Amino acid sequence: MRIAKRIARSGLASRREAEAMIANGRVSINDEPLTSPARNVAEDDVITLDGRPLSAIQQTRVYLFYKPREVLTARSDPRGRHCVPDFLPPHLARLKTVGRLDFLSEGLLLLTTDGELARYFEHPDNALLRRYRLRLHGDCSNHARTRLAELAQGITVDGFRYRPITIKIQTRDNVRGNFWVEASLREGKNRELRKIMNSLGYRVSRLIRTQYGRFSLGRLEAGALVEVSDKELRRILASTSNFPSQNSLERQDRQKQRVGKNKGSQKQLEK
Residue pair 161/198 in contact (Cβ under 8 Å)? The answer is: no
User: Which of 86, 102, 139, 230 does the annotation list as catalytic?
Assistant: 102
Q: What is the DSSP letter of 268?
A: H
86 included as an active-site residue = no
Distance CA 97, CA 212 (A): 12
Closest to 87 in 3D by CA, of 104, 70, 99:
70
Report how far apart, in Å, the C-alpha atoms of 241 and of each of 13, 116, 166 are. 29, 14, 24
Catalytic residue numbers, as ranges: 102
